[in-house]
Amino acid sequence: MSALDAIDLAIVKALQANGRMSNAELSQKVGLSASACSRRLDLLEKNGIISGYHARLSNKALDYKMMAIVHISLSGQGAKTLNEFEAAVKLCPNVLVCYLMSGDCDYILRVAAKDLEDYERIHRDWLSALPHVVKINSSFALREVIDRPNVGL
């Protein structure tokens, strides 16, 4: 955050609110010329402050009504074991998020499923087949309270 000046911060805040905003709209909103705004935007992208643009889809509207939080423990924590697990978990299309953890488990996943039968399939065909897995503990979200795409700036 310290690398962002007031104009950079205004740009990223505006894009968080509306990532489809045109450069002309953005430049007006932050008080820059279109060319200066475009240069700033390019630098924010190049420096990894802005990591991409995407449509935020509704899992529920796409019939993925069940969200599972899955704790996974592996047989070891060596680099080869972690790398093999991570390469394989990236292939599972229902895994939305995967975190390497400290604490009781090695990884926590957020998994989208259509229903309990679909989750059983994902568990059987994907999660149980991941390399080096020795324990899987699944919990099911009853209701989403908050799901922010970004931190507040």
Domain residue ranges of the chain, discontinuous segments joined by + = 6-46, 66-140
Question: What pLDDT does residue 54 have?
Answer: 87
Query: Which phi and psi (to 5°) does residue 53 adopt?
Result: -130, 135
Residue 1 has pLDDT above 70, yes or no: no
CB 127 within 8 A of CB 72: yes
CATH (residue range 6-46): 1.10.10.10
CATH (residue range 66-140): 3.30.70.920
pLDDT digits (tens, 9 = 90+) for 79-120: 999 999 999 999 999 999 999 999 999 999 999 999 999 999
Using alpha carbons, select from 64, 24, 19 the residue that is nearest to residue 45.
19
Region 6-14 average pLDDT: 94
CA dist 53 to 18, 48, 114, Å? 10, 12, 26
Question: What pLDDT does residue 119 have?
Answer: 98
Residue 150 has pLDDT above 90, yes or no: no
Rounded CA separation 142/53 (Å): 29
pLDDT digits (tens, 9 = 90+) for 50-79: 999 888 889 989 999 999 999 999 999 999
